[in-house]
Amino acid sequence: MKKIITQWINEWKWLISKRKLNWITFTFFDFEIERDIRFNQFSIIIIILGLGIRITICGESEELEMLIDKVSR
């Protein structure tokens, strides 16, 4: 069973935050492609001017299922 996970990235939160932050991380441009053979996952990350998205496609993997079984016990 394949599963698609999306994560929205917003690095502009520090502008509207009322808390004083120790540091600010801001990405002007980032493009990453990652292939994890062990857990059968593929990820794409695109960030432009602090706004971006990460899309991960998770496939079936025996090692991942073994880890999930160990954690759920």
11 found inside a domain: yes
Q: How many domains does the chain have?
A: 1
**Under DSSP, is residue 34 helix (H, G, I), strand (E, B) or coil?**
strand
Predicted TM-score (pTM) of the model is 0.73
- The token duo for 22 is 């120790």
46 found inside a domain: yes
CB distance 51 to 12 below 8 Å: yes
20 found inside a domain: no
CB distance 50 to 11 below 8 Å: yes
66 found inside a domain: yes
At 29 the pLDDT is: 96
At 31 the pLDDT is: 98
Q: Is 9 exposed, middle or buried (0-12, 13-18, 19+ CB in 10 A)?
A: middle
Could you list the residue range(s) of the whole structural domain that residue 42 is in? 3-15+25-72
At 1 the pLDDT is: 65
Q: What is the mean pLDDT of each run of 10 residues along the chain (73 residues)?
A: 89 79 84 92 95 92 80 81
Give first-to-last CA distance, the chain, whole Å.
22
64 found inside a domain: yes
